Amino acid sequence: MADGRSNIALIVAAGSGSRAGGDVPKQFRRIGGEALLAHSVDAFAGHPKIDGIVLVIGEGQEDAVRAALGARPCPPLVTGGVTRRDSVRAGLEYLAAQGAPSAVLIHDAARPFVSSHVIDGLLAALQSHEGAFPALPVADTLVRFEAVMGDTVPRDHLYRVQTPQAFHFEAVLAAHRSWPEARDATDDAQMVRDTGHSVTIIPGDIMLEKITHPEDFRRAEALLASQPMISRTGMGFDVHRLVAGEELWLCGVLVPHSHGLSGHSDADVAIHALVDAILGALAEGDIGSHFPPSDPQWRGARSDRFLAFAVERVRARGGLIDQVDLTIICEAPKIGPHRDAMRARLAAIMELPLDQVSVKATTTERLGLAGRKEGIAAQAVATLRLPPANVA
Ligand code: MG
């Protein structure tokens, strides 16, 4: 972030209120099986032009945030203030102290569904403006959007302002630092615009509606369910050489055998094929492009971390894995006695139900490299679904 050319998402999730019903703050309540906060984190983490995320949270909410994020890496946490403005200021000052990024996208966790198109639009708008935000016209009202934001328009009259709001970092930091304590500000865009910068509007998104009341959760669940997901399939294939004196790791399980597989990592040929299948479905390269064998940090690495990484990439794109199917091709050892343990281990790494994880095995009738016991091969297929907004 210190190179001054990075884009950071600042997600404000400091609320402690429960207007949305229930006894937990709404950013920790779930829609589509994931906490509100987790949806926003996934959206930004999955965008190639977002270089980092900082979360502004309420005092003492660290454990709740980690629980809401599950297996995801936890971004830096900054404790917010009494008001939203205090919370944003705390996040901006944290970023300034870390080495200012070039741009910051300030987002409310109460708007869980940020599409990659909105992020793209905001970053493009920052090429010619100091600030940009998405807005939706109020139904049945004609609204003229100017290339540059003009006078502030009362929100309840003409159009609805959404987040994320994107700014040149120095402009929004200066606006917050100079803004009089007693003066009201409806949002960061107003502050930046009123301190003399140009702020523009990009088209908003119905999926960005704010979640406030209990009925909003029901509406968002229905909206999410109505989004047609796009099915994607990927395949993977791998071979490793069998040698005496190595451990034999297959599907994350240590299998007793006279020989093991050699390779740079633990050489778990089955997991490698599976990782390539998942990355293939995402069209995000292959295992070697993410974990190059030339990089000494992967020497002897357990392959379960490669698989966890691939699954995290699916989540970051807002997707879900429907099913994986794996075939191990070898003459020995016999896979049958280990099949249940292998499925259970893969399901645990991927956080999938057991019935979505298939492990099969075959020999090659003593033909070829597997038949001569020179190596073990594996092939895999992964089927997953991605939201249309994130199929790029
Ligand atoms: Mg391999």
Summarised one tens digit per residue, pLDDT across range 299-349 is 888 999 999 999 988 988 878 899 999 999 999 999 999 999 999 999 999
* pLDDT value, residue 48: 86
Tell how far the Cα of 378 is from the centroid of ligand 1, in angstroms. 10
Between the CA of 71 and the centroid of ligand 1 the distance, in Å, is 24
Cα(191) to centroid(ligand 1), Å: 53
Pick from 78-82, 182-186, 387-391: least confident: 387-391
CATH 3.30.1330.50 domain residues, the chain: 230-390
| 366 Cα: distance to centroid of ligand 1 (angstroms) | 22
User: What integer pLDDT is reported at residue 60 of this predicted model?
Assistant: 93
- Average pLDDT taken over every residue of the chain: 89
**Cα 257 to middle of ligand 1, angstroms:** 19
Over residues 223-254, the pLDDT tens digits come to: 877 777 889 999 999 999 999 989 999 999 99
More confident residue, 170 or 292: 170
For residue 3, the model assigns a pLDDT of: 46
Instruction: Band the pLDDT of 179: cuts 50, 70, 90.
Output: very high
Going by pLDDT thresholds of 50, 70 and 90, the confidence category of residue 368 is: very high
Indicate whether 143 pLDDT > 60: no
**Contact of 380 with 276, CB cutoff 8 Å:** yes
Mind listing the pLDDT tens digit for each residue in 43-90? 998 888 999 999 999 999 999 999 999 888 899 999 999 899 999 999
Beta-bridge partner residues of 237: 379
Report pLDDT for 2.
42
Alpha helices in the chain (DSSP H): 36-45, 62-69, 84-98, 116-125, 169-178, 188-194, 214-226, 269-282, 287-290, 304-316, 339-350, 368-371
Structure confidence at residue 315 (pLDDT): 84
| Residue 4 pLDDT | 47
Q: Where are the alpha helices (DSSP H) in 83-209?
A: 84-98, 116-125, 169-178, 188-194
Predicted local distance difference test score (pLDDT) of residue 241: 96
Q: In terms of CATH, what superfamily is 230-390?
A: 2-C-methyl-D-erythritol 2,4-cyclodiphosphate synthase (3.30.1330.50)
**CA 49 to CA 57: how far, in whole Å?**
24
Give me ligand 1 centre to Cα 273, in Å: 7
* Structural element, H or E, at residue 30: strand 30-31
Query: 106: CA distance to ligand 1 center in Å?
Result: 41
Q: How far is the CA of 322 from the centre of ligand 1 (A)?
A: 24
Residues with Cβ within 8 Å of 66's Cβ and at least 6 positions away in sequence, in order, are 74
Contacting residues for 164 by C-beta, under 8 A, at least 6 apart: 9, 105, 106, 107, 114, 118, 119, 122, 133, 134
CATH 3.90.550.10 domain span(s) along the chain:
7-226
Locate 282 and state its tokens.
């995402």
CB < 8 Å & 24+ apart, contacts of 142-147: 145/201, 147/200
CA 303 to ligand 1 center in whole angstroms: 9
Query: How many Å lie between the centroid of ligand 1 and the Cα of residue 188?
Result: 49
Which CATH topology does 7-226 take? Spore Coat Polysaccharide Biosynthesis Protein SpsA; Chain A (3.90.550)
Q: Which of 219, 122, 103, 104 is nearest to 162 (CA)?
A: 122
The pLDDT score that the predictor gives to residue 157 is 57
Which residues on neighbouring strands pair with residue 12, listed in sequence order? 56, 108
